[in-house]
Structure 1
Amino acid sequence: MDTWGWIGATLRDALAEALALVLPVACAGCDEPDIALCEACCALLRPSVTRSRPGVWSGLRFEGVAARVVRALKEEGRTGLARHLAPALRAAVDAAEAGASGHGGTAPAHTVVVVPIPTSRAAYRRRGYRVVELVARHAGLRPARLLAIARATADQRGLDRAGRRRNVARSLVARGATGLRVVVIDDVVTTGATLDEAIRALRAGGAEVLGAATIATTPRHGPRQ
């Protein structure tokens, strides 16, 4: 993303958050009235990084309060919650970079580019913002849109693991990735099919993929030692 694109996205996010402040709110985690996120629920969003699958690191488990907060950000337009999820994504990105260094990677942190899974046009029209990019900016990261959607896919919900992989196969293409060292970022990992497709596309585009990082992982893909 160029500088003007970065500034425009930041201003849009700030406006959305300002509008959210004037609307009646309840805690996204427990429904306590008149507060966007209570102290107790904030505490439950402290990062606890796990390797949800080889090469994929996640800052939270997608259950309980964390799941409710992610859903409120994604589906209810509560963009102010992005800053509360930012530490989880940042911790996962740091773990992905450290994991790569521990397995032969040599890239210092400042040379690593974070690449978000692209948001579909339909999702962007519905929300007006890109979820993982919003959280990434709150985490002090500058996401680079190196991936583009090459073909439309069906809704992943309701598909099994094999169906998800078939659904997203060859659906992404990388542009301007040659020679870059990257970490792929997304909001929630379920089967990992979309992340695998992103990694394939980036490698095909000439990038060195150090790993992937997500805000949360679904419980059925819990920590692996």
Structure 2
Amino acid sequence: MTRLPLPVREALAGALALAFPVECAGCGAVDVTLCGPCRATLAPSVRRQRLETGLPVWSGLAFEGVAARVVRALKEDGRTALARDLAPALLGAVVAALDDHAAEAARGVTLVPLPTSRAAFRRRGYRVVELVAHRAGVHVEPLLHGVRGTADQRGLGRDERRRNVAGSLSAPPSAGLRVMILDDVVTTGATLAEAERALRHAGADVVGAATIAATTRRGERGVNTLRTHA
């Protein structure tokens, strides 16, 4: 069966919304994809943390409340229109990350999205990070590729996640390339660390990562809120 192009599916979703009730992805209010108050909570408040590898990661939102529900609606429910509402968070994280580099150096950074597994792409029909980046006007280069399957990370602990993704990614020869990794949500950082390993192994200089959101853990160190972007 031929899969319809994403713009066509989005148009059909909009037409169906006229015939069937829709709910706000953030609070459940009827007849609206995302209500004004919920949209306002998605204004980026960029935070930075470091992985155990030392890699700095900038995230546009905390993965909680409305933000978490909207991200899940985009990833799990096929509500692709929400990519536009999450785009400022990813863009804010990218801008904050590049602001931490000299202007000349920032212009030479290639943005590399985490790849989507084949199973997830078959299920969704789109790649979440690339879709949000496109809505944000951000150009990406999909250099990373999966070389083996992995289990669903949900429900796995930190060490289990690390073992699950170890050696699962590769990249083409990238000597002299300065890159920043893009992802939707950073939890333990295991997948970002594997992406960093694969890119460094290919010869790239990995300067950091940017994500739409980051989970928050009570008592976690190394997380700093940087700035709020309107």
TM-score by length of 1: 0.88
The residue aligned with 2:97 is 96
Q: 2: distance between equivalents of 1:148 and 1:27? A: 34
- Count of aligned residue pairs for this structure pair: 211
Does structure 1 residue 135 correspond to structure 2 residue 132? yes
**Aligned to 1:115, what secondary structure does the other structure show?**
strand
Q: Which runs of 5+ in 1 are unaligned?
A: 1-10
CA 70–223 in structure 1, closer or farther in 2 if over 3 Å, else same: farther
The residue aligned with 2:11 is 18
CA drift at 1:153: 1.1
RMSD of aligned C-alpha atoms?
A: 1.8
Note the 1:149-160 alignment, pairs <5 A: 149-160=146-157
TM-score by length of 2: 0.86
Q: Which runs of 5+ in 2 are unaligned?
A: 225-230
The residue aligned with 1:3 is none
| Percent of residue pairs bearing the same amino acid type | 62
CA 65–194 in structure 1, closer or farther in 2 if over 3 Å, else same: same
**Contact 1:188–1:215 at 8 Å: present in 2 too?**
yes
**Contact 1:27–1:35 at 8 Å: present in 2 too?**
yes
**Contact 1:83–1:135 at 8 Å: present in 2 too?**
yes
The residue aligned with 1:117 is 114
Q: 2: distance between equivalents of 1:66 and 1:140? A: 20
Question: Deviation string for 1:100-131 (max 9, x for gaps)?
Answer: 44xxx95133x221101100000000000000
**Contact 1:100–1:210 at 8 Å: present in 2 too?**
no
**Contact 1:202–1:209 at 8 Å: present in 2 too?**
yes
Corresponding letter in the other structure for 1:28 = A
The one of 142, 150, 156 equivalent to 1:145 is 142
Comparing 171-180 with 158-167, which one deviates more in the overlay?
A: 171-180
CA 70–171 in structure 1, closer or farther in 2 if over 3 Å, else same: same
Corresponding letter in the other structure for 1:224 = V
The residue aligned with 2:227 is none
**Aligned to 1:158, what secondary structure does the other structure show?**
coil
- Greater helix percent: which structure? 1
**Aligned to 2:90, what secondary structure does the other structure show?**
helix
Which 4+ residue blocks in structure 1 deviate beyond 3 angstroms?
A: none
Note the 1:37-48 alignment, pairs <5 A: 37-48=34-45
The residue aligned with 1:212 is 209
CA drift at 1:23: 2.4
Corresponding letter in the other structure for 1:19 = L
Corresponding letter in the other structure for 2:70 = V
CA drift at 1:186: 0.4
